[in-house]
Each structure stands twice: as structure tokens, then as C-alpha cells.
Amino acid sequence: MKVVLLQDIKGVGKKNALVNVSDGYASNFLFPKKLGIPATPGELAKHAARVKDEAAGITRLEAEAKKIMKEPLVMLLKTGKHGEVFDSITKDDIAKALGEQGCPEIRRVDLEHPIRTIGDHAAIVHFAHGVEANLTVRTTG
């Protein structure tokens, strides 16, 4: 039976691949777990439209990633009279600030440790579909 895979399956094929599998494997494993769909003309047309939409979404996310890499994200830390820092900036703070700026579909922000100093710091922003952006976080007091 010909099946279009909806996810990577070790030993069978990659996502969106058209593979030939046994009827039992398809009906007892792939279809119930929504890992594949039968390769009928109607399903192939629907799947092609989904792949096209996904590609457009990836292009949009890559454009957003390039946009946030161009300029640093400026964030404010609470400081005292003599420059001592009383606050920190976490991964969640960065994700929230990017969300307020209109960044879509942020999955995760990687930060080595919470930011507790004034200056430029590096972070990695992970979007949907495996798109990543290197972000500079500039903290001021």
C-alpha cells in the first residue's frame, strides 16, 4: 500500500515521503497513530496543499528570524544609585518581550544563564519548524 508519511519514521522514510508499506503496517500502526495517510489522489492533493502552506510558513518565520537578528532587543534592568543590579532577565522575559513585538510562534529561548549585568548578551530563539535566530539582548540600567 502506498502511504504519505506525516512524520519521520526510522527505517521507513522521511516526512512527506511517498513510501510503499504492507497493508497491515499501514492500517494497524501508521493510520491509527496519524503517522501517515493513504496515497489516494484526493489525499495527495490535500497533502500537497498542506506542504505548500508549511513552506510558506517557514519562509515567513525565516524572514522574522532575520528581522530580529538585525537589531538588538533592548531590555531594562533595575539598578541602584551606584550601578548595582537588583533584577535579572530570564528566558521567559525575552520570549514575552519578543511576543509583544509581534514575533510569532516562539517555541523556546536558549540563554546560558539569567542576565544580571549591563551590556550585550547572546540568546538563541527557536521558532516552529526548526527555524532559529541568534539574538543580541542589550541591557540598560
Residue-level pLDDT at 24? 93
Nearest 10 degrees: Cα torsion 67, 105, 127, 117: 70
Name all domains of the chain by residue range, CATH numbers in brackets: 2-60 (3.40.5.10), 65-140 (3.10.430.100)
Model confidence over 72-96: pLDDT tens digits?
A: 889 888 888 887 888 889 999 998 9
Give me the residue label for grid cell 537589531. Answer: 71
Beta strands 132-140 and 73-76 are parallel
Model confidence over 87-127: pLDDT tens digits?
A: 889 999 998 988 888 876 788 899 889 988 888 999 999 98
β-partners of residue 110 are 124
Residue 102: CB partners within 8 Å, gap ≥ 6? none
DSSP 132: E
Model confidence over 8-50: pLDDT tens digits?
A: 989 999 888 889 999 999 999 999 999 998 988 888 888 888 8
Residue-level pLDDT at 128? 81
The amino acid sitting at 91 is K
DSSP 72: P
Residue-level pLDDT at 32? 93
Cell digits of residue 12: 521507513
